[in-house]
A and B are shown apart, each in its own frame.
Chain A
Amino acid sequence: MATASKSSKRRLEIVENNENSAEVDDIIEAQVSDNADDSTDEESSEYSGLEDDEEDDSDDEEDNSDWEEGSDEDEEEGDEVHNMSTNEDSEDDTADDKVVPTAVPITQDGPSTSTAQLPAPPVEDEYAYDSSDEEDLRNTVGNIPMNWYDDYPHIGYDLEGKAILKPKRGDEIDNFLRKMENPESWRTVYDPQTGQDVILSNEDVDLIKNVMGSRIPDGSYNPYEPWVDWFTNEVMETPVTGRPEHKRSFIPSRVEAIKVGRMVHAIKMGWIKPRVAKDTSVERHKYYLLWNADDKSEDVRRIENPIPAPKPRLPGHAESYNPPPEYTFSEREINQWNRLAETPYQRKFPFIPKRFSSLRAVPAYDRFARERFVRCLDLYLCPRAKKMRLTIQPEDLVPQLPKPRDLQPFPTVCSMIFKGHKGLVRTISHDPSGQFFISGSDDQTLKVWEIATGRCFKTFEVKGTVRCVSWCPNASIALVAAAVDNNVYLINPGVGDRLVQAKTDEILKEMPAQTDYLIPQRVRAVLTWNEPDKAQWDSGFRVTLTHFKAVKHVAWHSKGDYFSSVMPEGDNRSVLIHQLSRRRSQLPFSKSKGLVQCTLFHPLRPYLFVATQRHVRVYNLLKQELTKKLMTGAKWISSIAVHPGGDNILVGTHDRRLCWFDLDLSTKPYQALRHHGQGIRAVAYHKRYPLFASGSDDCSAIVSHGMVYNDLLKNPTIVPLKKLRGHAKFDDFGVFDVLFHPTQPWLFTSGADATIRLYT
């Protein structure tokens, strides 16, 4: 029964609008066809729940009893007719008669015929079927979708196997009219199993309403019945067992008594104290006067040599919330800032300076916590040390030098340019009086110039590049030594005092007698003294010294009798010293000490300076020994010059350094100057004035003041005075040679641009 009620519940759920029964029918039909796969029990017993109209109980026993009651009733009623009449009655008043089956099938023909179809419960074998579900079995098709029978005239078979014909439904108009006429139409539903209309009873309607209202379907069930306490919680007065309680359950424990006694004793003795609540006011008053005076420090043990932490940096204008407009970032700066995301420490600021229109718009700085944290890390992790802070200005490091104006005279302006050569002017040399000078060039000529007028007096054609010219310092001879390729020519320039010229010619006319002098084999292999032929003599050549290698440098002794020549490629025979008066030569060195660049004679003493690539060696010619070796520290010496006093040497190098050696002080440079931008080609001292000059490939010559004092305790003062420019660059060469006028503070420079300049 329970299942039946459930199925009916499900089926009638949809009935909402009772007035439109036709629709309801359709819906229910559809519903039934949907539910066709329900169990057969449910299908077949669709009326059962409605029929026996008892309380819906889940109890099986009751169910059974109900059924039995129902069957009893049937027995009592006896025949079908009576039953039918009761049905008719019930149609009129849908009263609360419990016994009467409330749902009555209606057919087209009328209620009488329909009731006839109701199979009477078989009286004889009332126990033949044990399930109440099957009691109303009229159609035996079973649990199938009823639409299978849509195309047939029947809807199934009764118990006897006869087809149950579909009752006539009539057309829509008939149905409608019938519905209009029939006041019960709102509670009439169509049963697809039997093909009949069924009128629902009041109870059914109530049941449906209850279900729809989600109440208990059975209206008569009282959920608030008084509670009957079947199993009471009251303790019964009589105990279950009559056993008396143990003595220890009412006598105090001895063990506990001992424990308590101990505690009491401890409290008495003051061993146990009550827990004191913490006084928070103490916390607030925990500070006191720690320092009595402001700056008086008491002696306490401290950490060793404490260094206070540096104070955090104070903010600049850019950190302002409203900075001056020049501090805010332009787009380019923002891009640059963003580009440094990988290396944020390179940023100018850790934030982008930005202008906020008002204070209210300024947000919290998102790196604030991080910056505080980093500061904390710095305080305890950074090693500290005391560093001296420089309070000097960079100007204080620059030495104070005397003003150039106080050190005049010195050459300042280019006052004359000697033009005439067609190639690099490699070398120049002046005559002892200072009236003329001679220049040698790559155009294979030597030219003699008068200084005062700038006129070129003479030109000597030679076959080869002129490497070096040197005017004999002896004023009583008019002679120039010129190194051209393998030869050294001694030339009478033919200018100046005629008497001197004549005398020179006279001296050189005849070869001195070489009695009992045999030219050493070593020298003979290197050099030959040659007399000029007639044509050469006429053009001024007096003697030719032919060497076995190219001669790069010649230098006269101050007396004018000796001169030296240098062949860098000559190995141990690279330096030769010649004596003009006797026309003899000698090779002073038996061992090679490197590539010899140039040699110079000491102006006063018999010393010879030999500059190799790295060092300058000073030889005593009398004792024939090495007296000093000067360490320049340079890679390639280009030229040397000796101070007229003889105690100071200038060394110019290709690696831009100009070294001043004080021979009394040390073998290391007294001062090394790096004033030139490129390698130095030539250096020179002035004979009278405290001046020296250097010429370099950077097309400039620098004139400096170099005062040497007689007082041995006083070091020379060196002051650069003036940079003289003017020469043009040619083939990476600038100035080749510098030369001071013997008496005037004038400087000659010869350059790669085929000119010679005079600065006064």
Chain B
Amino acid sequence: MGARMKKKYEAGEATKYITRAQALKKLQLNLKDFRRLCILKGVYPREPNNRKKAQKGKLDKKTLYYVKDIRFLSHEPLIWKFRDFKIFMRKMKTAMEKGDKETVARLKDNKPSMKLDHLVKERYPSFLDALNDLDDCLTLCFFYSTLPRDTKVPANLISLCRRLTVEFLHYVIAAKALRKVFISVKGIYYQVEIKGQPVTILINHLRGFKPTTASDVDYRIMTNFVDFYTSMLGFINFRLYHSINLQYPPKLPGININENAADEDATEEYNELVAALNTSLVANVPEAEEELQIDEFPSADGQDKLDEAKREAEAIERLKSLFKGLKFFISREVPRESVVFVIRACDGEASWDSSIFAGATYDETDESITHQIIDRPSVEKQYLSRYYIQPQWLFDCINFRRLLPVEDYFIGANLPPHISPFVTERLGDYIPPERQVLLALERGETLPAEEEEEEEEEEESEDDSSEEEEDSKPKKNETTKSQVVKEKKGMKVMRGRVEMPDIKGMDEEEKEHYKFRELMIRNKDKRLYRSMMKNRKSREREAKRLENKRKFHEKEEKALKKNTQIKKIKKDA
């Protein structure tokens, strides 16, 4: 008697996974309920290390779940709720068909309802876990809160989303947690820092927003997600309010969400929400102002890092009270919700025309208004005591973490580009000049804006020669510049420059050596190396392309400027 033959796929990887069809059979659920359960419980398929083994030798690709996960699902009490609901629906149908109103009413009263509290705790055992997963939650809830009341989505869910999201925005305002903003074509991104975790939200634009006409979207699936996300967001809101000594749910003046409101009320309700953003919440206990001081520990290597951290902390402090003491008035064509939120999150004051929307705190005629946010090419009556600026100013100020000069953002002005604050450049990537300015500021350098302009003018007056000089170090530039200014205009003889000895030969040797080294890469790493180099090359090419495009664009613009100036002069003459 020899040892029993070991059968294939009875141990190891093969026993760890279960296909979806098997899981359905095991759980005795239909696909719809299984999907819902997976969404609520946060169960997802897994990619096996060895797919062939995991699929027991079958070659077609299957959705695989952990067997343990499915076993875990089978203990979920929600499954019984699903079954209850199925029975309820059957009874309802019978009663409706019989026309038994009494029974229908009774059944409706006893409609089985789900509570998802335990799921929130189970999926996110710690609060930080929940914060880590907040991006999708908030973005979807904000999306639902802007949906029109429609049969596709239950109306009370929309209202609930509205309430929860506004509560969250209130927390951000109260905690001054807004860090970055970005107006994209998709919507407006807000990055909020909660407990040191960055949470990024995307809120869609509302002009011509028709989401429910999209045929390739299944709202039932999304509603399953939103069901869970609302309970999650509620608990998170509670915890957040609790952490800054605010009462939850907050009593927002003028906000009464009617969960069964008709569609006409929706816009009104929305206005009320915006109005609510303009009021500050009442804290349970008045907070004591506390200045956090970073203790200094002498460290051998990390002096730079320490400095950087200090600068960062300072910048964030500055950002928190960026608009302090500024009074804004918002014109009616400006998207109020985002602008009010941004202003209030940086400690500013905002108001709007009280005759159009509720919640205005002061009038347009108020002389103490410092800025008026306006988004049209011109305005008839202007007050001298305030700046009339376009909304992009607010967003750029927040990204730069300082008040930018308002001149570029006046009404009708051609706006400077709005760049993304979320980009992290790798070595060799293209960095647009606006971003370079921002990075320099972050590094603690100060860029005198006026000098820059001067330089530009000079560049215009001269030709390539000055540009070449600029390529060499800026200190040299200072000395030569004065000369150049004196010698302006006309033909001139430039001072000759010493030709540097060609170090190309040296480079060549290095290059050859590197080439040989490349040849000596182990076969194992060769493919990886090649793909990495290919990526790097393509990135470099892309960077080069963008740089050239920018240069070309600037040259064109300069030419255009010159032309217009010449025309002007001719006209004057």
Contacts and interface: CB of A to CB of B under 8 A. Distances in A.
Interface string A339-373: 00000000000010110111110111100111111
Given A291-B239, A303-B41, A399-B520, A326 B376 contact: no
B512 A287 contact: no
B234 A302 contact: no
B208 A364 contact: yes
A652 to B, nearest CB: 16
Contacts of B434: 324
A362 B122 contact: no
Contacts of A255: none
Contacts of A293: 126-127
A359 B335 contact: yes
A360 B336 CA distance: 11
Interface in A549-598: none
B208 A321 contact: no
B528 interface: yes
A288 B241 CA distance: 11
Interface stretch (B62-70, B446-454, B455-463): B62-70
Interface in B124-167: 124-130, 132-133, 135-136, 139-140, 143
B334 A290 contact: no
Contacts of A327: 432, 546
B127 A302 contact: no
Contacts of A304: 66, 68-69, 72
A546 B522 CA distance: 49
Contacts, number: 290
Nearest to B20: A381
A375 B132 CA distance: 16
A373 B184 CA distance: 19
Contacts of B125: 297-300, 302
B46 A383 contact: yes
A364 B520 contact: no
Interface in B39-72: 39, 41-49, 63-64, 66, 68-69, 72
Binding site of A, secondary structure by majority: helix, strand, loop or mixed? loop
Contact of A315 (B124, B189, B509): B189
B163 to A, nearest CB: 8
B44, B187, B553: most-surrounded residue (chain A CB, <10 A): B44
Given A368-B211, A373-B221, A287 B415 contact: no
B517 interface: yes
A364 B200 contact: no
A716 B541 CA distance: 40
B259 A290 contact: no
Given A290-B235, A398-B529, A322 B123 contact: no
Contact of A399 (B68, B202, B517): B517
A322 to B, nearest CB: 4
Given A285-B249, A394-B533, A326 B143 contact: no
A740 B140 CA distance: 75
A673 B519 contact: yes
Contacts of B430: 326
Contact of A294 (B44, B126, B209, B259): B126
A285, A286, A312, A368: most-surrounded residue (chain B CB, <10 A): A368
A364 B44 contact: no
B516 A401 contact: yes
Contact of A373 (B35, B217, B546): B217
A168 interface: no
Interface in A706-737: 718-723
Interface string A289-323: 11101111111111111101101101111011111
A398 B521 contact: yes
Contact of A720 (B183, B212, B214, B516): B516
Report the interface size class on chain A.
35 or more
A340 B153 CA distance: 34
Nearest to A671: B520
B352 interface: no
A359 to B, nearest CB: 5
B392 interface: yes
Nearest to A292: B127
B47 A383 contact: yes
Contacts of A295: 126-128
B333 interface: yes
B214 A324 contact: no
A384 B432 contact: no
A303 B186 contact: no
A320 to B, nearest CB: 5
Interface in B470-526: 509, 512-514, 516-522, 525
Contacts of A718: 520
A442 B199 CA distance: 78
Given A326-B432, A368-B143, A384 B420 contact: no
B420 A297 contact: no
A360 B206 CA distance: 10
A723 B419 CA distance: 49
A388 interface: no
B182 interface: yes
A38 to B, nearest CB: 58
A384 B532 contact: no
A382 interface: yes
A358 B143 contact: no
Contacts of A280: 259
Contacts of A321: 183-185, 418
B519 A674 contact: yes
B334 A302 contact: no
Contacts of A356: 185
A496 interface: no
A362, A369, A385, A399: most-surrounded residue (chain B CB, <10 A): A369
Contact of A320 (B38, B49, B417, B514): B417
B310 interface: no
Given A300-B121, A376-B222, A401-B516, A317 B208 contact: no
Nearest to A275: B109
8 contacts: A287-B231, A297-B126, A309-B44, A323-B418, A365-B205, A370-B217, A380-B39, A673-B520
Q: Which 8 A-B pairs have the closest CB atoms?
A: A297-B125, A385-B47, A314-B422, A297-B126, A364-B209, A369-B211, A383-B47, A394-B532
Interface of A: 275, 278, 280, 284-291, 293-306, 308-309, 311-312, 314-317, 319-327, 330, 351, 353-354, 356-360, 362-365, 368-373, 375-377, 379-385, 390, 393-394, 397-401, 403-404, 673-675, 718-723
Interface of B: 35, 38-39, 41-49, 63-64, 66, 68-69, 72, 106, 109, 117, 120-130, 132-133, 135-136, 139-140, 143, 182-187, 189, 195, 200, 202, 204-212, 214, 216-218, 221-222, 225, 231, 234-235, 237-239, 242, 248-249, 259, 333-335, 375-376, 390-392, 415, 417-420, 422-423, 430, 432-435, 509, 512-514, 516-522, 525, 528-529, 532-533, 536, 546-547, 549-550, 553
Given A368-B209, A380-B44, 16 more contacts: A287-B234, A302-B123, A304-B66, A312-B135, A316-B420, A321-B185, A322-B417, A324-B550, A326-B432, A368-B186, A368-B187, A369-B211, A369-B214, A382-B45, A674-B519, A720-B519
